[in-house]
């Protein structure tokens, strides 16, 4: 851990496109509808070992780091002062969870813009031009399409036998370019094409997730639960028909109900008030429609208001840890579904379907589920897509759904 951080946040003029301000590929970002945070450089970083306590270990590290910081904050909004970006593994037995505190963060929100620097202000970093991926070649992931369909059929059989109610099965896909892939290109394309998603980049994991685990501002919290999916239609009439069919689908409504129940179980003990939409509604994105349920609440107990030091019980990171994994990305019951995923998927998900987001020194922050994403490693990209499997699931239809879910990142890579 570095010595005492000296942090300063000052107001600045509107910086324009946040992604365009990132000087090099090794950057971090969390952006929706043009607002959010974009950072570069590293004031501190920790790789967190595998284990059920990986979230607790990460928060302990942050508390020690932030409590020892010297902070001057002239703006005072969520995301000001020192901020940590994080990405955690889906499976507690997997290594790869990471927290990064950038040396520079450019932020925009609530009608204001700001710049946070850690340490002595440095001369602006010369910007490396972002180059689109070229010479892409595509490769099968851990399972071929027929193998994955057989895995789905096996999961359906187990569900019908009463072993569990739902399992989420994912598959991966690889792309190799002729040169290292620049995350900024993917960020810019995803942010432009999916403005209603949370576009993110952290330690090489880049994507645009439609699903918000938790947003915490002071004692107020918000979550957006998604489960149940159908494509967009080619016409307004077809689009409406597909949406109506999704709302009427017993299979998809059942899948969605499990995910909402998980969020209720996780948040209710932590909140004085929790309001959950009575019925799911349609969230229409550029390529897909999802069943969605909004959740809002107010945290119980006193909130620490000190300028440094995470909230003792209910930071955004602690709330994300309480929620993970929900039925939206794992299944019901979670323990049985996790074992089935390990048995049938034939791969380590890494940080796919784990929490990704940011938290500041007051415990405010936003964490999403790492969906519609790819893990970048030099010229190689590993893409992921998954589906909720219940008793009525059809392996052919589920495979088609994964192909639609791959498209946002495939298109971002291809142009």
Q: Judge if the upstream peptide bond of residue 25 is cis by omega within 30 degrees of 0.
A: no
Pairing of strands 373-377, 44-48: unpaired
DSSP string, 358-403: EEETTS-EEEEE--SEEEEETTEEEEEEEEEE-TT--HHHHHHHHH
Q: Which residues are catalytic?
A: 166, 211
Q: Tell the residue number behind the tokens 């008793």, with chain if given.
A: 391
> In angstroms, what CA-CA distances link 38 with 30, 31, 32?
6, 8, 11
Q: Tell the residue number behind the tokens 């290109």, with chain if given.
A: 185
Measured distance between the N- and C-terminal CA atoms of the chain, rounded to whole angstroms: 40
CA distance 63 to 5: 12
Q: Rounded to the nearest 10 degrees, how much is the dihedral formed by the CA atoms of 87, 89, 95, 98?
A: 10
């Amino acid at each position: 851990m570095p010595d005492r951080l000296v942090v300063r946040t000052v107001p600045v003029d509107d910086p324009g496109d946040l992604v365009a301000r990132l000087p090099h590929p090794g950057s971090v970002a969390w952006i929706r509808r043009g607002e959010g945070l974009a950072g570069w450089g590293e004031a501190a970083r920790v790789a967190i070992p595998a284990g059920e306590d990986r979230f607790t270990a990460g928060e302990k590290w942050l508390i020690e780091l932030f409590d020892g910081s010297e902070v001057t904050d002239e703006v005072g909004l969520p995301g000001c002062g020192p901020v940590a970006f994080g990405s955690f593994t889906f499976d507690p037995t997997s290594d790869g969870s990471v927290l990064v505190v950038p040396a520079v963060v450019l932020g925009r929100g609530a009608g204001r813009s700001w710049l946070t620097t850690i340490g002595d202000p440095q001369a602006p970093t010369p910007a490396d031009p972002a180059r689109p991926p070229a010479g892409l070649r595509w490769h099968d992931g851990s399972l071929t399409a027929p193998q994955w369909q057989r895995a789905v059929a096996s999961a359906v059989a187990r569900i019908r036998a009463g072993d569990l109610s739902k399992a989420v099965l994912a598959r991966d896909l690889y792309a190799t370019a002729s040169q290292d892939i620049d995350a900024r290109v993917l960020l810019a394309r995803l942010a432009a094409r999916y403005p209603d998603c949370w576009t993110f980049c952290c330690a090489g994991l880049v994507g645009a997730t439609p699903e918000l685990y938790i947003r915490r501002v002071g004692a107020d919290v918000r979550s957006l639960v998604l489960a149940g999916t159908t494509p967009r239609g080619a016409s307004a009439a077809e689009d409406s028909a597909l949406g109506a069919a999704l709302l009427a689908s017993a299979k998809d409504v059942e899948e969605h109900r499990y995910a909402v129940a998980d969020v209720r179980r996780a948040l209710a003990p932590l909140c004085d008030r929790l309001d959950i939409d009575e019925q799911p509604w349609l969230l229409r994105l550029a390529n897909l429609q999802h069943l969605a349920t909004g959740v809002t609440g107010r945290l119980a107990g006193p909130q620490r208001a000190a300028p440094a030091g995470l909230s003792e019980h209910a930071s955004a990171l602690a709330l994300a840890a309480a929620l993970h994994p929900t039925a939206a990305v794992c299944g019901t019951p979670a323990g049985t579904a996790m074992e089935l995923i390990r048995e049938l998927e034939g791969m380590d998900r890494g940080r796919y379907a784990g929490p990704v987001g940011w938290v500041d020194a007051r415990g405010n922050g936003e964490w999403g589920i790492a969906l519609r994403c790819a893990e970048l490693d030099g010229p190689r990209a590993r893409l992921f897509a998954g589906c909720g499997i219940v008793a009525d699931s059809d392996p052919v239809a589920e495979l088609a759904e994964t192909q639609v879910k791959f498209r946002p990142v495939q298109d971002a890579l291809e142009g």
